[in-house]
Amino acid sequence: MALQIKLVNSCAQADVLGCFVTEGDLVAQIDSLPVQISNLNQILIDRKFTGAKSANICLPLNHAGYKYLILAGLGKAKNTEPYIENLRRAVSEVVRGSESCSAKSLAIILPAAQKFNVTNSYLIEQVCIAAQLANHKFDTYLTDKAKKEVNLELSFVLDANFGDLSQLQAALNKANLMGNAVNQARQWIDLPANHLTPTILADKMVEVAQKCGLKHTVFGEQEIIKMGMGGIHAVSRGSAEDARLVVLEYKCDDTNAPTVALVGKGILYDTGGLSLKPAQSMETMKEDMAGAAAVVNAMQVIAHLKPKVNVIGCAPLAENMPSGTAGRPGDIVTFYNGKTAEIKNTDAEGRLILADALSYVIANYKLDAVVDIATLTGACEYALGNFFSALISNHDDLAQIVTQAGETSGDRVWRLPFTDDYKSCMASNIADLSNIASGRFKAGTINAACFLQNFVKDVPWVHLDIANTAYNLGMLPYYRADSATGVGVRLLVEFVLGMQK
Ligand code: BES
Ligand code: ZN
Ligand code: ZN
C-alpha cells in the first residue's frame, strides 16, 4: 500500500506539516498555528496567499523535525456549494505538495467538523478518501523510479473535539476500502487495451469476487450468443478478443432487504467499429470500460461493509473494432429481451451491450431498482462540462436517492429531463428501435437514455452517463491529467448504503 493513514491526537513527527486556513483574517489563524515562522503574515501577503479555495503555499520550516509547512486554503463557506468539497481539495493539495517535496511522511492538522456542518466520522472518512485519491498515480509503465508513486505515511492530527479515536476507526476503515476501490478502478481504466482485454478484465473481476466472497458467474462469447444477446455479439464480433458478461452477487442476511442491480458499460476499447472514430476522439477510448470498473469495485466495498441490501453487479465486456467480421451499419440485431434494433452507427455501441445486460438483470432478478453507469455519449460533456455526471431516470424517488449519494460521496450528478417528448427519438421503420436518434433530436445524452429505457421494463431506473467525468480531470487536485478518475465507485457505494430500509 502506497499510502498509510493514521489518526493521532497530538502533532506527529513528519517531514511535512499541513494546515488549513479559511479565506480572510489570516493573522489570527496564523497565530494559532502550532509552528511559528517569522514574518509569515508578510510572506503570505507578498506571495498573494489569501486562503482561497485550492490555493496552497509551501514554506521551508525548521521546527521539531518538520522540513516544510504547507498551508492550504479552504476558501469561504457558501451555502450553494458543499464546503466539505473544499476540504477534500485542500487535503489533496497538501498531499500533492508533499509529493513535490519528496516527503516520506506528512502530518495534517484537521479543522473541526462543526465548521463543515458534518459529523466527525464523515469528515474523517472524506479526508482519508481524498488523500488516497490524491496519492494515487498510474505508474505501471514508468521505468524511471523517480516518477513512480511515492510511499507516504500520513497522520491526521485530531484535537480533543474529535473525541475518542477508537470510535473513528470504522470511518478510517471504510475510507481505506473506498480509496482502494476507487484507485483500483482507476488502475483498470488506465491500463491500455493491449494490456487489458475483456478476458483479462473478467479474470480480474473474478479475483475480486473471490477475495471478498461474492458469488460470481462469467459467460463467454459463445454463451452470450446462445443466450440471445445480439447486442453484445454485434459489438464484439469485429474483435479478435472474446466478449464476457460478468455477474457478481452480494446477498445480505435480511430477508426483507431490497434488491438492486448495478450495470456498467465495459468497452475495453472503442474504435467506433466500421463507423470509425476520427483519430483524436479515439485516443482515450481505453476509458470506455469505466462504468464496468466502477460497478465491480463498488461491489468490493459493499461486500466488506455488508449493508442490508442485496446487490447484483453486472458488467458486459467487449471490444469495438472494425474488421471483416465486424457488424455493419444497417445490420438488425435482436436483444436478450426479444426487441430488435437497426444499427445505423456502430459507434453507438455502449447502448447495445447495456441493452442485453439490463434485460438480463431485469429478467433474472426481482429488482427494486437498477442503476446503470456508462461512458455513453460525447454529448454529455457539452451538456454538463466535467464537474457533474449526467443522471436520467424514470423514477423521481430513486433519482433523488442517487443524487443524494452523489452529494454525500463527492461524485456529483445532475439530472437531465426525460419527458415523453424525447422518447420518439430512437424510432426505426424496419426494427423496434434505431441505435441512433433521427437528426432533429440533438440531446445525445437523453437520446441514449431513451434507447436504454426499452430494456428496463417499469423497474425504477437511473442511468448515469460518465463520459464527461471518467477521464482526464487534472483540474481537480485529487485526480491527474491523462488518467482515470474512478468516478462512480464512491457514488454507487453510498447509493447502496442509502437503499437500506
Ligand atoms: N464511448 C463513446 C462515448 C464517449 C465519448 C465516451 C467521449 C467518453 C468520451 C460512445 O460509444 C460513442 O461513441 N458515442 C457516440 C454516439 C453517437 C454515435 C450517437 C458519440 O457520443 O458520439
Ligand atoms: Zn462508441
Ligand atoms: Zn463507447
Tens of pLDDT, residues 22-78? 998 899 999 999 999 999 999 999 999 999 999 999 999 988 899 999 999 999 999
Taking only the tens place, the pLDDT of each residue in 239-257 is 999 999 999 999 999 999 9
User: From its phi and psi, is residue 366 left (phi > 0), alpha (psi between -120 and 50) or beta?
Assistant: beta
Nearest atom (ligand 1) to Cα of 287: 8
* Contact between residue 370 and residue 261 where contact means Cβ atoms under 8 Å apart: yes
CA distance 57 to 51: 9
375 lines ligand 1 (CB under 6 A): yes
Q: Whose CA is nearest to atom 22 of ligand 1?
A: 378
Q: Which of 52-66, 406-420, 457-471 has the lowest mean pLDDT?
A: 52-66
Q: Give the atom of ligand 1 at the shortest distance from the alpha carbon of 379.
A: 21
- Given this model, what pLDDT does residue 121 score? 97
pLDDT of 117 reads 96
Q: Is 297 within 8 Å of 411 (Cβ atoms)?
A: no
Please give the helix or strand (H or E) that residue 177 lies within, else none: helix 169-190
* Ligand 2 center to 115 CA (angstroms): 45
CA distance 501 to 311: 14
| Banded model confidence at residue 11, pLDDT cuts 50, 70, 90 | confident
Catalytic residue among 265, 351, 412, 490: 351
Mean pLDDT of 424-443: 97
Is the confidence at residue 448, as pLDDT, over 90? Answer: yes
**Cβ(494) to ligand 1 under 6 A?**
no
Separation of 270 CA from ligand 1 center, angstroms? 9
Nearest ligand by distance to the CA of 267: 3
Ligand 2 centroid, distance to 348 Cα (angstroms): 5
Q: Global pTM?
A: 0.98
* pLDDT (mean) for 174-195: 98
Question: Is it the case that residue 473 has pLDDT exceeding 90?
Answer: yes
Give kind and range of the element (H or E) at residue 342. Answer: strand 340-342
Task: Identify whether 351 is a catalytic site residue.
Answer: yes
| Mean pLDDT on 144-168 | 93
What's the pLDDT at 80? 87
pLDDT at res. 1:
59
Q: How far is CA 383 from the centre of its chain?
A: 19
How high is the mean pLDDT of the chain? 97
Residue 501's pLDDT is what? 87
Q: Which residues pair with 71 in a beta bridge?
A: 19, 57
Active site residue 265: no
Mean pLDDT, range 306-324, rounded to an integer: 99
Q: For the residues 346-352, what does the mean pLDDT come to?
A: 99
In the numeric block, which cell numbers belong to residue 33?
A: 498555528
Sign of CA dihedral 218, 220, 222, 227: positive
Is 353 a pocket residue for ligand 1 (Cβ < 6 Å)? no
- Active-site residue, selected from the candidate residues 96, 115, 277, 415: 277
Residue range 103-122, pLDDT digits in tens: 999 999 999 999 999 999 99
DSSP 147: G
CB atoms near residue 259 (< 10 Å): 19
Q: How far is ligand 3, taken at its centre, from the CA of residue 420, in Å?
A: 26
Q: Strand pairing of 389-393 and 105-109?
A: unpaired
pLDDT score of 438: 92
